[in-house]
Amino acid sequence: MTAKAAIDDLIDLMAALRTPGSGCPWDLEQNFRTIAPYTIEEAYEVADAIERGDLHELKSELGDLLFQTVFHARMAEEKGAFRFEDVARAIADKMRARHPHVFGDAGARDAEEQTRRWEAQKADERAALGKTGLLDDVPVALPGLTRAVKLQKRAARIGFDWKKPRDVLDKIAEETSELVEILDSGDVSKIEDEFGDLLFVIANLSRHLNVDPEAALRRANEKFSRRFRHIERRLLDEGRLGQASLEEMEALWSEAKAIERQGRF
């Protein structure tokens, strides 16, 4: 089956699922808002397959994500707004416009120059949509750390940024002190506010270190899970799960780290 035939088959399948009377009751009940969480979830599952290096699973997850695009396009077509073909054509046109060094006469000598031209093109697109503010089109629904980095990148374009990572570390120390000062107040709103400031600056540090904060946090989560599972297994074997002291569990944590360094996990 050709790529075009496969896409056409998927579009026809989606149309059948959304056909009143003969379609799927669940699919027929859905709308853009109810489907959006599934779209986000599928994108994360794609990222998870990539993180695990599972190409077989990646193929499956990319299919699930593509299905979400087809689903949204079908609902839009039912409203007379646009069709899947319009979505595909729009992104192809956009990518050609953003790569004049490939599809036009302009030449980009290196990746840095290409990035500058890309950002200039996106700025022109935002202006055409009436979004003149630097932060206007940073999606609110993005994960918090990701959105923080995007907001900071935009602000940095006009020089609103620290010069080096150590400057950001100094700010982290300042925000940490402010959080410590407010802890004993018991004011949940103020504590949340100060904690948010601290997270925001940590996200900025990730940008200065060229580290994706979401990817770094996923790795930290997985590392914690591996080490904690070791603690859990050891205590289960000894029949002491839930009975060990913090000091004993910290010793098992150190044991897990040593095993990890030896590549035995």
Q: Which residue ranges make up each domain of the chain? A: 3-97, 99-128, 144-211, 215-261
HSE (side-chain half, CA atoms, 13 Å) at 188:
0
* Burial (Cβ within 10 Å: 0-12, 13-18, ≥19) of residue 84: buried
101: left (phi over 0), alpha (psi -120 to 50) or beta: alpha
Tokens of 76: 């839009």
Phi (first) and psi of residue 255, to 5 degrees: -65, -40
Read off the pTM. 0.67
HSE (side-chain half, CA atoms, 13 Å) at 228:
7
Contact (CB, 8 A) for 45 and 61: yes
Superfamily of domain 3-97: MazG-like (1.10.287.1080)
pLDDT at res. 7: 96
CA distance 194 to 24: 48
pLDDT at res. 97: 85
Relative orientation angle of helices 188-208 and 144-156, to the nearest 10 degrees:
60
Q: What is the CA radius of gyration of the chain?
A: 24
pLDDT at res. 36: 94
- 3-97 and 144-211 share one CATH topology? yes
Residue with tokens 């070791």: 230
Relative orientation angle of helices 213-238 and 188-208, to the nearest 10 degrees:
110
CA distance 35 to 30: 6
CA distance 231 to 213: 27
pLDDT at res. 110: 65
The Cβ of residue 133 has, within 10 Å, a number of other Cβ atoms equal to 9
Tens place of pLDDT for every residue, the chain, 265 residues? 899 999 999 999 999 999 999 999 999 999 999 999 999 999 989 988 998 899 999 999 999 999 999 999 999 999 999 999 999 999 999 899 888 878 876 665 666 666 677 677 777 776 777 767 889 888 888 889 999 999 999 999 899 999 999 999 999 999 999 999 999 998 999 999 999 999 999 999 999 999 999 989 989 999 999 999 999 999 999 999 999 999 999 999 999 999 998 877 6
CA distance 255 to 261: 10
> CA nearest 62: which of 43, 79, 77, 36?
43
pLDDT at res. 107: 62
Domain 144-211 falls in which CATH fold?
Answer: Helix Hairpins (1.10.287)
CA distance 252 to 98: 53
CA distance 41 to 219: 18
pLDDT at res. 111: 67
The Cβ of residue 188 has, within 10 Å, a number of other Cβ atoms equal to 8
Contacts 24+ apart (CB under 8 A), 81-84: 84/7, 84/11
Alpha-carbon distances, residue 215 vs 51, 145, 222, 229 (angstroms) = 8, 10, 11, 21
